[in-house]
Structure 1
Amino acid sequence: MESKNQTDTVEFILLGLSEDPELQNTIFGLFLSMYLVTVLGNLLIILAIMSDSHLHTPMYFFLCNLSFTDISFISTTIPRMMVNIQRQSKTISYTGCLTQVCFALVFVGLENFLLAAMAYDRYVAICHPLRYTVIMNPRLCVLLILFSFSISIMDALLQSLMVLRLSFRTDLEIPHFFCELAQIINLACSDTLINNIWLYFVTSIVGGITILGIIYSYIKIFSSVLRMSSSGGKYKDFSTCGSHLYVVSLFYGTGFGVYISSAVTDSPRKTGVASVMYTVVPPMINPFNYSLRNRDMKAALKKLITPLL
């Protein structure tokens, strides 16, 4: 089939999680439930933090932004899949696919930086408690968010613009329920060397820096906590890090799991199913993780919900 440079003639086909017609309603109901739980859970976290003055601290400021990022990220993928199921159509336009890729890259990048910023916040709080309010001042917190957002947007725009130079055939199949950059690059019929180099370079740099920053912060935290003589102080400091460590483990663990599964399996469909673990599960679990493990969050949520009952 002749390749085409006219992007308006290109349509991608999102194969989804299953081609069995009898499973489509089940998949729709399952993902609708997961989407609603994710949005409502994270929205409650945001409202609780905004309404309670006791939570106006750097830790909860970053958590509020993390919840917003989770809502935004899952909203770039799940709604489109549910619309396709209802329409009984698996196609997505070139523009729609590229837009989905761009927004997904923005929010994945932002989540990476937020997790690193939250680790740094815990490091300062535990290792430099007397200077915490001086170091983690509102200006620094806002600058960290703006820096993270700016870098994520620039990377997403550059990656998306680099896709524009690629040529595609029509009716291209993506073995996922959303448009993933690596899958789109693999479907191109033109030279993709530059795209692949830049993709792996940015992923390695951004992911490597954030992961190393998190590891360094927690090495310092653990060494500082272990030097404490009070067992009560150790437990309190470890408990403030528990929720964040769980989120980090879930986010990076599922991401690496999907990468490994894609390397060892020959079935793209299985990789698509596995991708649910890092695109849907972490944003859904995060509200429960922070609300159930954190006494202050539970009190704020109770204060927020009680008047509504």
Structure 2
Amino acid sequence: MSWANESIIEEFVLLGFSDQPWLEFPLFVVFLTSYIVTIFGNFNIILVSRLDPKLHTPMYFFLTNLSVIDLCYITCTVPQLLVNLRSMRKVISYGGCIVQLYMFLALGATECVLLPVMSLDRFVAICRPLHYSVIMHQRFCLQLAAVSWIIGFGNSVWLSILTLQLPRCGHYVIDHFLCEVPAMLKLSCVDTTINDTELFFVSVIFHLVPLTLILISYAFIAQAILKIQSAEGRQKAFGTCGSHLIVVSLFYGTAISMYLIPPSPYSKDPKKMVSLVYGIIAPMMNPLIYTLRNKEVKEAFKRLVKRVFLTKN
């Protein structure tokens, strides 16, 4: 019976920020600007990391993977959001909603696994510098990246199926700006306690466990950095690790508040704002954090620009 009801629904209504119409144009400008900055920033990191031989290291290989995730992450949400902000009919097709739900989950979970992998790279580089090239060899780095993507997309298949198989009894109005699991669960006309519990359990595994591993890694890293005699060496180590820690704080902080903190029965907008931070703002900030705080990336970008101009001349 539930499947018969679902076949009638060809599109969902995304309420977004329609309860505050005066906000829609300013938000459109902000999100369009964020999207352009994110595309440009992450594409530059990918380009520089691939074209500059000095950046052919595990650190920049993982950073390239993070940039690819961020590019896909923001592309699966922002274009639809921009269309709906300037449209009277704020809708998304049934198929589009399924794709958005799956990709948002998959890319988020992949980043959850990739960030501790990046902290492992920094741990080996700083705490085991003499064995770094032996441990973090190319094949191992490829395996770590592949495992991150496989785990992320595999987890998304499971959670997406559990969410989509719930009967909605004709409910099609989503009080959100994207098709996200918590918002989709609210459409169900049956008890979703089991689904909420499964989502909480998965969130603990993908958020708290990786965050704990990262903090343990950085505890050892901090001890190793303090033992470095050279002030320049300490500054360089703190610089690369500091960028990663800022990204970690921004991503996990907002994701944990979204999935692990119980929602307030009196307010819905804070959850939307949290989704904006880790779904739109974080992908935009990541390349800025890594480029503005990373001397190697800035110098590599300057070399690339000079090479382009010399080629033209």
TM-score in terms of structure 2 length:
0.91
Paired residue for 2:233? 233
Deviation at 1:93, TM superposition (A): 3.1
In structure 2, do the counterparts of structure 1 residues 92 and 109 end up closer, same or farther at CA, with 3 Å as the change threshold?
same
In structure 2, do the counterparts of structure 1 residues 236 and 9 end up closer, same or farther at CA, with 3 Å as the change threshold?
same
Check whether the contact 2:203–2:260 (CA below 8 A) recurs between aligned residues: no
Between the aligned partners of 1:228 and 1:53, the Cα distance in structure 2 is 27
Paired residue for 1:176? 176
Check whether the contact 2:12–2:92 (CA below 8 A) recurs between aligned residues: yes
In structure 2, do the counterparts of structure 1 residues 262 and 278 end up closer, same or farther at CA, with 3 Å as the change threshold?
farther
Check whether the contact 2:5–2:170 (CA below 8 A) recurs between aligned residues: no
Paired residue for 1:142? 142
**Structure 2 counterpart SS, 1:13:** strand
Deviation at 1:4, TM superposition (A): 6.7
Which stretch shows the higher mean deviation, 291-300 or 50-59?
291-300
Q: Look up the equivalent residue of 1:204 and give its one-letter code.
A: V
Paired residue for 1:220? 220
| Percent identity between the two aligned chains | 41
In structure 2, do the counterparts of structure 1 residues 270 and 217 end up closer, same or farther at CA, with 3 Å as the change threshold?
closer
Check whether the contact 1:4–1:168 (CA below 8 A) recurs between aligned residues: no
Q: Does 1:19 align with 2:19?
A: yes
Between the aligned partners of 2:264 and 2:132, the Cα distance in structure 1 is 45
**Structure 2 counterpart SS, 1:62:** helix
Q: Look up the equivalent residue of 2:288 and give its one-letter code.
A: F
Paired residue for 1:251? 251
Q: Look up the equivalent residue of 2:215 and give its one-letter code.
A: I
Between the aligned partners of 1:160 and 1:76, the Cα distance in structure 2 is 15
In structure 2, do the counterparts of structure 1 residues 212 and 5 end up closer, same or farther at CA, with 3 Å as the change threshold?
farther
Paired residue for 1:8? 7
**Structure 2 counterpart SS, 1:39:** helix
Between the aligned partners of 2:266 and 2:56, the Cα distance in structure 1 is 49
Q: Deviations over 1:51-84 (max 9, x none)?
A: 1010000000000010110010011111111122
Check whether the contact 1:109–1:152 (CA below 8 A) recurs between aligned residues: yes
Check whether the contact 2:34–2:284 (CA below 8 A) recurs between aligned residues: yes
**Structure 1 counterpart SS, 2:169:** coil
Runs of 5+ unmatched residues, structure 2 = none
Deviation at 1:193, TM superposition (A): 3.2
Between the aligned partners of 1:177 and 1:262, the Cα distance in structure 2 is 20
The count of aligned residue pairs is: 308
**Structure 1 counterpart SS, 2:12:** strand
Between the aligned partners of 2:130 and 2:221, the Cα distance in structure 1 is 15
Paired residue for 1:78? 78
Deviation at 1:25, TM superposition (A): 2.8
TM-score in terms of structure 1 length:
0.92
Check whether the contact 1:73–1:107 (CA below 8 A) recurs between aligned residues: yes
**Structure 2 counterpart SS, 1:275:** helix
Check whether the contact 2:126–2:237 (CA below 8 A) recurs between aligned residues: yes
Between the aligned partners of 1:20 and 1:235, the Cα distance in structure 2 is 46
Deviation at 1:297, TM superposition (A): 0.2
Paired residue for 1:187? 187
Q: Deviations over 1:236-262 (max 9, x none)?
A: 322221111111111112333445886
Between the aligned partners of 1:102 and 1:274, the Cα distance in structure 2 is 19
Between the aligned partners of 1:109 and 1:179, the Cα distance in structure 2 is 16
Check whether the contact 1:12–1:170 (CA below 8 A) recurs between aligned residues: no
Which stretch shows the higher mean deviation, 235-244 or 71-80?
235-244
Check whether the contact 2:204–2:260 (CA below 8 A) recurs between aligned residues: no
Runs of 5+ unmatched residues, structure 1 = none
Q: Look up the equivalent residue of 1:202 and give its one-letter code.
A: V
Check whether the contact 1:262–1:271 (CA below 8 A) recurs between aligned residues: no
Q: Does 1:153 align with 2:153?
A: yes
In structure 2, do the counterparts of structure 1 residues 265 and 295 end up closer, same or farther at CA, with 3 Å as the change threshold?
farther
Paired residue for 1:49? 49
Paired residue for 2:276? 276
Between the aligned partners of 1:76 and 1:246, the Cα distance in structure 2 is 24
Deviation at 1:181, TM superposition (A): 0.4
Query: Cα RMSD over matched residues?
Result: 2.2
Check whether the contact 1:81–1:177 (CA below 8 A) recurs between aligned residues: yes
Q: Does 1:198 align with 2:191?
A: no
In structure 2, do the counterparts of structure 1 residues 167 and 255 end up closer, same or farther at CA, with 3 Å as the change threshold?
same
Q: Deviations over 1:164-201 (max 9, x none)?
A: 32100334332221111011112201232332222111
Superposed counterparts of 1:99-118, under 5 Å: 99-118=99-118
Paired residue for 1:119? 119
**Structure 2 counterpart SS, 1:187:** coil
Between the aligned partners of 2:94 and 2:109, the Cα distance in structure 1 is 23
Q: Look up the equivalent residue of 1:266 and give its one-letter code.
A: Y
Paired residue for 1:63? 63
Between the aligned partners of 1:21 and 1:207, the Cα distance in structure 2 is 34
